Structure 1
Amino acid sequence: MALLLFGIMILVHEFGHFITAKKAGIRVDEFAIGFGPSIIKWKRRETQYSLKLLPVGGYVKLGGEDEDTFDGTGFNEKPIWKRMLVLFAGAFMNLLSAFVVAVLLVCLTPALASNTVAQFDMEQSLPEESGLRVGDEIVKVNGQTIHIASDLPVALLADDDGVVDMQVRRNGQVVLLEGVSFRTQGEGVEREVFLDLKFQRAAKTPITVLRHSFFRCVSITKSIWNSLLDLAQGKIGVEALSGVVGTTQAMGQIIRAGLEPMLMIFIFISINLGIFNLLPIPALDGGRIVFLIVEAIRGKPVKREIEGIVNAIGFVLLIALMVFVTYHDVLRIFAK
């Protein structure tokens, strides 16, 4: 089931490239899910469709992508903005599918939480002792806007010590609370923040469902981005990353926990795929978009040989990273 869900995410991503290329008048030579030998393949018009043996990744091969074409249907012949749309479309479809599933998840949720404090869970609650009150609507934490309840833990995890400055709306007035404390435990990716409070329910209407769905996706995007920044700054090590093996195992465990956790992991990984593919890394869509930006600035494309070498180096480094991460996934599994 976990591999099926992962395959659906990849299918959605590649379909974004596929349908946008078709609409842009670009010839699609092959649409493949997975890598390795083909298990099933068939051809319709100019496009070969195939399902590969290894259900990891996938690709859409476009005419004029790796060679120059001159019949008007090649990727290389289209305006830069059309090529950018094709490259961006895969990530966009991942993000769109995450939002659609988020809407379903919010619809299944019995009650929606607002950003207004309803009660504190402990007699000696740190945030209450720091000045937070029942009825306070949390507006900002360390300058980050709080739209819904799930924004709060993301903002707190972005802080180093669990002590933050808050803006709250109290009796119609915006009040600044400095040094509001929350209990924390652990470090790095293991770090947890305990809220010690509950939020008031929000009315469940079509507008609030769409609003909560959107901001849930935004919260997840922020948490992923914060993790990438921590990785870049050395706050967490590469060994903390999880690859296909670890992700599939985690997905399997979550899927067995029920429908709602399964939908949540689908949203999280779909957004992760969308963001990761847009990073300016050679061999990824983001890296290829960078080459198009350079082409737009220079007024002519980068030599195909140079782009090929850069992408090849990027691909080798990505494979090496996958091997490294998979190795640590396996170690973690056998250590349990």
Structure 2
Amino acid sequence: MVKTILVFLLVFGIIVIVHEFGHFYFAKRAGILVREFSIGFGPKLFYHRKGETTYTVRLLPVGGYVRMAGYEEEADLRAGMPVSLFLNEENKVEKIDLQNKLQSVDSVPIEVTNFDLEEKLFIEGRIEGQIDAIQTYQVTRTALLVEKDGTTLQIAPKDRQFQSASLINRMLTNFAGPLNNFILAIIAFILLAFVQGGVPSEEALVGNVQEDTPAAAANIESGDKILSIDNTEIESFRQMITIVGEAPETQRTFTIEKADGTIIEETIMPESVDNGQGEQVGRIGVEVSFDRSFFSKIKFGFTESWSIVSQIFVILGSFLTGGFSIDKLGGPVAIFATSQNVAQAGILGIINFIGFLSVNLGIMNLLPIPALDGGKLLLNIIEGIRKKPISEEKEGILTLIGVGFLLILMLAVTWNDIQTFFLN
């Protein structure tokens, strides 16, 4: 169980960090203030501040986010709130502490009456112990804001907020997360090809032949190609393994093309072996042939990623043609359950799982659903057509609808996963 948890955290953590780093990099590149880079949701476990950004790790490892200034943010500061101000030598505010703790001798305690931390950069309030005395303080552009949970963030002047960036930069920032997932998948599958020593043949080409097996007894050699089994045409090595596995201890007629082009027939009886799940399957003792060229390994990163993309689109298309099915979706519970098998598969299984999940996350985030990256991109496109953005009120409503839809979907998927993997 511990190993499964570690694999789950490793795989999910890598995918989320890479996804959010895409948003982070392009936001920084566009001059948008990134206030927080978080892995996980919920209460923070710890944080570290570097430059303008606070990096946090939070309790629930089910995602992450990049908190960009002015981007779906709620006001941190409100009128009537007691705060502590820390002033610099010029008597300007350089830190606003929202925590309700013992006052520092270096701070000025006030009850906020008015403030503007975006344009005019000031805060005013009643000084503690002086009911009628309202004092106004100028705030520096790089002043810090200590939230109630202790997280320290930088204030966000208007020109550093998300909406102040150009439309193309906002679109790039929204698209960068899924883009990074596709790049990660390509790199993962390239790495997989190098680690496993090559790319498995798409045909039923024989690689190594194990000693003292039915294949060795039938003089099958490396480089041979299985054309058919009992007149069933074989198109891939996986298909051949499936057919052989279905009938242990049963004689099968193999049509084989030798390396020199000669075609022969051999009668082979697959031996019966345990598949590790208490079931007996057939095995003849051959391994798939690998293309070990450098180019094929690089190419594999792109072809395998595209293959998964194609499969996902087929599934999404089936929702339109054959009706929606929750069984075709999986959430964190399904990922965790699968992590157990991945952990047993070792480093190759982990790398493959990273690539597979990264493609899935990239595609899912590009769906045109409000609150997802695809929904935000759709709003960007509409803004480009209209030559003006949708009002904040309407965008907020759309986002709320999207969040509600995703929450309901996630709960349904999670419950279905629990039933599938733990209750059945």
Pairwise TM-score range, normalised by the shorter structure: 0.7 to 0.9
Task: For residue 110 of structure 1, give the secondary structure of its aligned residue in structure 2.
Answer: coil
Structure 1 residues 265 and 284, CA, compared in 2 at 3 Å: closer, same or farther? Answer: same
- Of the structure 1 ranges 236-245 and 210-219, higher mean CA displacement relative to structure 2 is found in 236-245
Residues 1:34 and 2:40 aligned together: yes
Among 52, 77, 96, the alignment partner of 2:164 is 77
Q: Which residue of 1 aligns with 2:352?
A: 264
Q: Which residue of 1 aligns with 2:20?
A: 14
Structure 1 residues 199 and 301, CA, compared in 2 at 3 Å: closer, same or farther? Answer: farther
Structure 1 position 121, deviation (Å): 6.0
Q: Which residue of 2 aligns with 1:51?
A: 57
Residue deviations 1:17-73 (CA, integer Å, cap 9, x gap)? 111111111111111111111111232233222111101111111113237876432
Alignment of 1:58-207 (within 5 A): 58-66=64-72, 71-114=158-201, 118=205, 119-120=225-226, 122-127=228-233, 203-207=291-295
**TM-score for the superposition, normalised by structure 1:** 0.74
**TM-score for the superposition, normalised by structure 2:** 0.59
Structure 1 residues 199 and 327, CA, compared in 2 at 3 Å: closer, same or farther? Answer: same
**Structure of higher CA gyration radius:** 2
Residues 1:208 and 2:314 aligned together: no
Task: Check whether the contact 1:115–1:200 (CA below 8 A) recurs between aligned residues.
Answer: no
> Using the alignment, how far apart are the partners of 1:49 and 1:109 within structure 2?
35
> Unmatched 5+ residue regions in structure 1?
133-148, 153-197
> Using the alignment, how far apart are the partners of 2:158 and 2:414 within structure 1?
43
Q: Which residue of 2 aligns with 1:232?
A: 320
> Using the alignment, how far apart are the partners of 2:333 and 2:202 within structure 1?
37
> Unmatched 5+ residue regions in structure 2?
1-5, 74-117, 120-156, 206-224, 240-285
Structure 1 position 213, deviation (Å): 1.9
Structure 1 residues 122 and 39, CA, compared in 2 at 3 Å: closer, same or farther? Answer: same
Among 276, 300, 305, the alignment partner of 1:217 is 305
> Using the alignment, how far apart are the partners of 1:201 and 1:333 within structure 2?
34
> Using the alignment, how far apart are the partners of 2:403 and 2:347 within structure 1?
35
> Using the alignment, how far apart are the partners of 1:201 and 1:250 within structure 2?
27
Among 354, 357, 361, the alignment partner of 1:273 is 361
Number of residue pairs aligned between Structure 1 and Structure 2: 273
Structure 1 position 318, deviation (Å): 0.4
Task: Check whether the contact 1:95–1:270 (CA below 8 A) recurs between aligned residues.
Answer: yes
Amino acid corresponding to residue 120 of structure 1 in structure 2? I
